[in-house]
A = this chain, B = another copy of it.
């Protein structure tokens, strides 16, 4: 990757991340870092898991959403914000808006699972349903902006969101001490962009490695070709990572990320089960993606100190509990 191939300048760095850390202090949880003898033995490395599944709304997304809302001017706060997401960003923005008394509208495809609509509405957001196409979604967002003067808070293609996501790795460095590598999942790229900016500012020799599902390897292909290679609608259990890289994240990823690895669906499921069964933490498949290559020792980091961000813990356990209820009630 040459620097010239990057599609945009990067207007944020250490000062903006430090500001975000301070700005988020009253709002976001400093999530714990977990270690496990069992994991270290399996990995052949010392692994430090940054538990963003324990962040508010159960995902790192709260950091970026809150950091963006806190920087709006008063008129924009009064008018409110809009986003399109049926995932963790929707819930994160809804809670951030509720805490700050900023109206939030979320555009969702009418096919989104009821559980996600309910969770977002439960935090007080207005939901606008649209047809399940990119065109319909963009039209609905544009309409909300034009008619109501709402501000778009994009799930990942937004510098204030990226600066907020950066605070997770910033904390991890404080908590775990020096690290040889930091591993994060790659979806739209907000987390990996923030992570790369935070880590390379403080510890340039620390590797920043992204992991994505084999079936959604757009970041790997984009790094190779030097331009954003979109993924279609990849079929992967890691539902948070089906998105293609955004332009702003790509500008950072192409400059600051050392490499992108992939995980098979079987590897993701193995890692998910390991985290649930042995580490006793509920994480979502998108988090297990980063642990898969660590367990499989595919990162060439034996004997090293690895930080990994577990991005979230929102997974539908409904069917599991329905089975238990049928059996016991």
Residue from A236, A272, A280, A313 with most neighbouring chain B CB atoms (10 Å): A280
What secondary structure prevails in chain A residues at the interface with B? helix
Asked if A319 lies at the interface with its beta carbon under 8 angstroms from chain B, I say: yes
Q: Which residues on the B side are within 8 Å of A32 (C-beta)?
A: 32
Residues 315-329 of chain A, each 1 if its beta carbon lies under 8 Å from chain B, else 0 = 001011101110111
Contact A321-B280, Cβ < 8 Å, known A32-B32, A237-B328, A328-B237: no
A68: Cβ under 8 A from any B Cβ: no
- Interface residues on chain A, number (Cβ under 8 Å): 29
Partner of A313, one of B280, B327, B328: B280
* A280 and B317 contact, Cβ closer than 8 Å, known pairs A328-B265, A329-B269: no
State whether the Cβ of A281 lies closer than 8 Å to any Cβ in chain B: yes
Interface string of A274-318 (1 = CB under 8 A from B): 001110111100000000000000000000000000000100010
Checking B53, B266, B280 against A53 with a beta-carbon cut-off of 8 angstroms, the contacting residue is B280
Q: Are B273 and A321 in contact (CB under 8 A)?
A: yes
Within 8 A of B (CB), among A180-236: 236
Tell me if A109 counts as interface (CB < 8 A to partner B).
no
Known A281-B281, A283-B280: A266·B323 in contact at CB below 8 Å: no
Q: Which residues of B contact A276 (CB under 8 A)?
A: 282, 317
Which residues of A from 3 to 55 have beta carbons under 8 Å from B? 32, 53-54
Complex contact B320–A266 (CB within 8 A): no
Report whether A328 and B269 are in contact in the complex, using a CB–CB cutoff of 8 Å. Answer: yes
Q: How far is the CA of A269 from the CA of B327 in the complex (A)?
A: 11
Contact partners of A53 in chain B: CB under 8 A: 280
A residues sitting closer than 8 Å to B (CB atoms) are 32, 53-54, 58, 236-237, 265-266, 269, 272-273, 276-278, 280-283, 313, 317, 319-321, 323-325, 327-329
In the complex, given contacts A272-B324, A280-B282, A320-B320, what are 6 additional A-B residue pairs having Cβ atoms less than 8 angstroms apart? Answer: A237-B324, A265-B328, A266-B329, A269-B325, A273-B317, A281-B281
